[in-house]
Structure 1
């Protein structure tokens, strides 16, 4: 099940912990989406790959999560839009966390259903 999170507090915690909480947040989102879509959980593995590749994997991760988000929206029967290219472009230009914030907003809407 996708957990509803307060986005403002999550952003604040990410800044206070110098990004450590954001890694936890991303791993949690990855695990929750995998669970929702009946796929194997891979949050820890993806975070480790992201760290090993000095963050380059997170660009792909945002794109992949955009595709998963679209699939979850379709399954939930809500208004769906494939934002994976927007997430990719934002990530390429260095805004790695903005797609995560948008994803969490969309996940919060789905968890309200």
Structure 2
């Protein structure tokens, strides 16, 4: 997992009107797949309604990597609430930093 400052993820996502957030989520999903998390194709992010399936599975993977510290249901709920999606980004990147620290 790559280590990155959660604040940089938030700022870059905000400044680029969410484009960085999509790129960040793609990179995260690829690394999660390398760690054995099963995710559907990332292309679902660009298909209305189907994107919810991908996002749900993505946050289930984060829950798995965090050993239940962050629940998929809470992260998914935050991701649906507009600006609160940044909270889910923060918690996800924090989880990845912890996993990278253990692995590295």
TM-score by length of 2: 0.76
Instruction: For 2:79 and 2:16, locate their aligned partners in 1 and report how far apart those are by CA, in whole Å.
Output: 21
Residue aligning to 2:72: 84
Instruction: For 1:19 and 1:9, locate their aligned partners in 2 and report how far apart those are by CA, in whole Å.
Output: 13
TM-score by length of 1: 0.71
Distance 1:37 1:98, change over 3 A: same
Q: Which has the higher Rg, Structure 1 or Structure 2?
A: 1
Q: 1:51 aligns with which of 35, 46, 60?
A: 46
Aligned length: 101
Q: Gapped runs of 5+ residues in structure 1?
A: 75-79
Aligned-residue RMSD, C-alpha: 2.5
Higher RCO by CA contacts (8 Å cutoff, separation 6 or greater):
2
Q: Gapped runs of 5+ residues in structure 2?
A: none
